Amino acid sequence: MSLRLLAGAVVALLSVSLPPVHAQTTPSATLHWSASRPLVLADFQGRPRLGEPHAALTSATVVAQVACKSNKFTGSVQAAFDPTRSWVRDPATITPRLLHHEQLHFDIAEVYARRLRQKLATMQLPCAQLGSVFERVSNGIYAEWEKAEDRYDVDTNHGLIPAQQQAWDELVRKQLTELDAYADKEG
């Protein structure tokens, strides 16, 4: 299961904010998505809330920072994982299959971070128009991401249907490859 925390945009010289449901502060101890660094059990440092029915939760965030420099739009986007809000119910019984399912939640966040990077790369806006256009574009990407996360858990029954999990693995791998030009070069 994935908790979809969406960080509000930080905008210099403008006031752009996402709706309150998306406004979160990015924790300082987040892990940025990396193809070469998968999640490991030790990354899940949080604790489940009482009555939480799931075996694990991945708290993934897509953080967008935009600014205007010399009246020109600039922006960056990162997919991040929050260890303090991510948890596994019983670390002694975690399976590679469950850890893989949670990793794919993080991978899906990276797909949507790349989609937002792709959109931002095409934005040639004067700073005066940045606020409303950025909010519309980012909210659209965030809404698509949330739907994908929900479909993933429903389709795979939280990773319990192997054939559906494999289909999602292939889909997400394909999407990451198709969006490789928009991978975070600093990550």
pLDDT of residue 187: 54
pLDDT digits (tens, 9 = 90+) for 137-186: 999 999 999 999 999 999 999 999 999 999 999 999 999 999 999 998 86
Can you give the residue ranges of every domain in the chain? 2-182
pLDDT digits (tens, 9 = 90+) for 75-89: 889 999 999 999 999
Query: Is residue 20 over pLDDT 80?
Result: no
What is residue 33's three-state secondary structure? Answer: coil
Q: How many CB atoms lie within 10 A of CB 9?
A: 23
| Sequence-ordered strand ranges (E) for 28-160 | 31-32, 56-69, 72-81, 87-88
Residue 143, amino acid: A
pLDDT of residue 130: 76
With bands split at pLDDT 50, 70 and 90, how would you rate the model's confidence at 127? confident
Distance from C-alpha of 110 to C-alpha of 160, rounded to nearest angstrom: 23
Which has more pLDDT, 68 or 57? 57
